Structure 1
Amino acid sequence: MKRLEHIFVVLNGWALILMLAAMTLIVGANISLRYLTGHSLPWADEAARYLMIWMTFGGAGLVLRIGGHVAITNLQDALPDIGQKIMRAAIALGLLIFFGFMVYVGLQYAQRMQYQVTPALRLPFLYVYAAMPVGFGLLILHLLLIAHPFITAGTYKRRDGDAGEAAALPGGANG
């Protein structure tokens, strides 16, 4: 299971790297063409915007894994140990319910937009709005994989001393 989790995290990280690289190349080529030839790619801004949307939703789970989202812990820190665990379990459950709801809403929204196409690329908006259910689905998986150490210890680290998945990300200590 640990190996599958590692593969999942690395693949998620590499997908983000590839999207960022594509966005960089597209924007860089568009800028170069604009200054060198006086013409730009009509679809470059649109493609970069949609890649950014996919990166945002696709990367949220990796940020969750390392505790990178905003957290206010004053109340939790004021509670005794058992109260902290109960609060973290309630938070994890609340997040899981919210993420599941957003997958449902995202699927409905993407299906409603499947026949409308983007202005420049002429892609069905389904492919753009699919980022939402896919991203929240990834958030569910990441949350389930870190829920135990988060609830029991308030960390994103495993008991076996592993420094969490931050090191497994591409460009990390082990990636």
Structure 2
Amino acid sequence: MSDPSNEMDDTGAFESGLPGFLGVIDVAISKVEAVILALGVILMAVNTCTNVILRFVLGEGLFFSGEINRILIIMITFAGIGYAARHGRHIRMSAIYDVLPTTPRRVLMILIALFTSAIMFFLCYYSVDYIMNLYDRGRILPALGFEIWMIYVWVPVGFAVTGTQYLLTAIKNVTSTDVYLSTGVVDGYADNEKEV
């Protein structure tokens, strides 16, 4: 089987596996997601550490720290699902799948990717409806004063990007002879993963 690490080139940059303009967009979205994830985790760590230090030294922490972490968790989670799908890193139950020959695995991967894509778009639709309900209620975060609907904008964006990624994975598997976990990741195990 192919080495799944082929999603990176020699410089460590993500290679899409999509042709032309779609590949350029995919790589750009991947870079934006990586920055969002890295920045989000760093900001959450700084916010939490600052809050702990201030609470220990001054006896009182930042009154808005919890709300900032809530925003960052939502952002990291929903930027992360698209990132994981793009890199073929979602958890898979593959006991039966792994013993199948290449063609049935590819067909199964197409069905899994299409089904997952449909679920992601379904959740995207309902998350937009949820955000509209929050908008209509006009609730705000008590410490920061932002309207609550603003912090949930990441939810439909994450679901839409993930749904699109799984749809592209299905298309990649239809047009390929190999089995792809995502548009740039061929199904397989690295040499160190084969050892049981």
TM tier, shorter chain?
Answer: 0.7 to 0.9
**Aligned twin of 1:11:** 32
- Name the TM-score, length of structure 2 as normaliser: 0.72
Distance 1:154 1:116 in 2: 47
Long gaps (5+) in structure 2: 1-20, 187-196
Distance in 2 separating the partners of 1:3 and 1:129: 27
Could you tell me which of 120, 131, 140 is aligned with 2:154? 131
Preserved CA contact (<8 Å) 1:63 1:69: yes
Query: CA 1:143–1:157 in structure 2 vs 1: closer, same or farther (change >3 Å)?
Result: closer
Counterparts of 1:5-154 in structure 2, within 5 Å, are: 5-114=26-135, 115-149=138-172, 152=176, 153-154=178-179
- CA–CA separation in structure 2 for the residues paired with 1:71 and 1:147: 16
Q: Give distance in 1, aligned partners of 2:160 and 2:61.
A: 36
Residue 76 of structure 1 deviates from its aligned partner by 2.2
| Displacement after TM superposition at 1:66 (Å) | 2.3
Distance 1:156 1:84 in 2: 11
C-alpha RMSD of matched pairs (Å): 2.2
Higher deviation after alignment, 82-91 or 109-118:
82-91
Deviation at residue 23 of structure 1 after TM alignment = 1.5
Q: Deviations over 1:5-51 (max 9, x none)?
A: 21221111111112222222221221121122112111101211221
Letter in 2 for 1:33: L
Cα deviations by residue, 1:71-100 (Å, 9 ceiling, x for unpaired): 112232344433222211111110111011
Query: Which protein, 1 or 2, shows the higher relative CO under an 8 Å CA cutoff with sep ≥ 6?
Result: 2
* TM-score of the pair, normalised by structure 1: 0.80
CA distance in 2 between partners of 1:69 and 1:85 (Å): 17
For residue 70 of structure 1, give the secondary structure of its aligned residue in structure 2: coil
Contact 2:120 2:160 in 1 (8 A): yes
> Is 1:155 aligned with 2:180?
yes
CA distance in 1, matches of 2:27, 2:165: 11
Q: Please give the alpha-carbon distance, in whole angstroms, between the structure 1 residues aligned to 2:36 and 2:180.
A: 26
Give the match's secondary structure for 2:180.
coil
